[in-house]
Homo-oligomer: A and B are copies of this chain.
Amino acid sequence: MGRPMSRNLMHAGARLVIHNRSREVVARLAGEGMQAAASPAEVAHRAPVVILMLSDTPAVEQVCQGADGLINAVRRGSLVIDMGTTAVAATRLIADQFAARGAAFVDAPVSGGDLGAREATLSIMVGGEANAVERAMPLLQVLGRNITRVGSVGAGQVAKTANQIIVGLNIGAVAEALSLARAAGVDPARVRAALSGGFADSRILQVHGQRMIDGDFRPGGKVVTQRKDLRQALELAAAIGLELPATRLNLSLYERLVASGGGELDHSALIKVIAEDDESSG
């Protein structure tokens, strides 16, 4: 998602210094007018605002805390914005490390996927001190809409965790409901239509319910990403002594889907786990 987001920023007039593990990606974006940097440290030397869009928490730790990482190189007064989905505890630790170097940190994870990144319609959940968030806001407004400051550092990641919990469980809900309809001999598409506008209605029923009816599981949001986010949710819950039984079960269903080869499918493919149960018992 970093590529379309960087293009949106460039088209809005920002001068971009970019780095990526893939030299090919850097070369392509350099060809579009961005400046290439050889390391995260070089980005931190040259840019007063650094935006991270990485796939997981270990990648954020490497880019921030590694030998040629951001923290050792960051300029006093710089602002770092992490827009990936990163563990809350790691986020708070890394923010402290930037603060010790005189740099501000904002977590601003997003919802809306590749399409939202391209069309600049991402929902952005923001955590950070008010003045740091205020500095980040003009950039975030280029990248998305419905931008909400949820609280202090880490609060954006907590909101994203809540988002992923609900998304995973709502997919599971629609999967069981439509599986039951089909097994009971009723057209799932008509059931979905009948439920639209009522208390069972949701974005997941509308978007992912349609994917289930069509059997179209091209991602979209991948199963392996949903699994990572649910694992992170349960790690956070465990760290603060909270039991999340439904989320735990939901993760186990996603684990089964990965084990049966569905990891690269859209997360709405969870319905295949329910259907498989049906076939094995029927």
Give A contacts to B, CB under 8 Å: 88, 111-112, 123, 125, 146, 148-151, 154-155, 158-159, 161-170, 172-174, 176-181, 183-187, 190-191, 193-205, 207, 221, 233, 236-237, 240-247, 249-250, 253, 274, 277-278, 281-282
Contact = CB atoms under 8 A, between A and B. Distances in A.
Given A123-B197, A166-B202, A173-B246, 9 more contacts: A150-B186, A155-B190, A163-B194, A166-B195, A167-B199, A167-B200, A202-B202, A242-B281, A243-B274
A250 B146 CA distance: 31
Given A150-B191, A180-B161, A183-B240, A200 B111 contact: yes
B249 A148 contact: no
Nearest to A172: B246
Contacts of A190: 148-151, 155, 159
Contacts of A146: 194, 196-198
Contacts of A240: 180, 183-184
Contacts of A164: 200
B167 A170 contact: no
A182 to B, nearest CB: 9
A175 B139 CA distance: 33
A223 to B, nearest CB: 15
A161 B181 CA distance: 9
A281 B162 CA distance: 21
Closest 7 A/B residue pairs (Cβ): A202-B202, A169-B173, A162-B177, A148-B194, A166-B200, A123-B198, A243-B277
Nearest to A169: B173
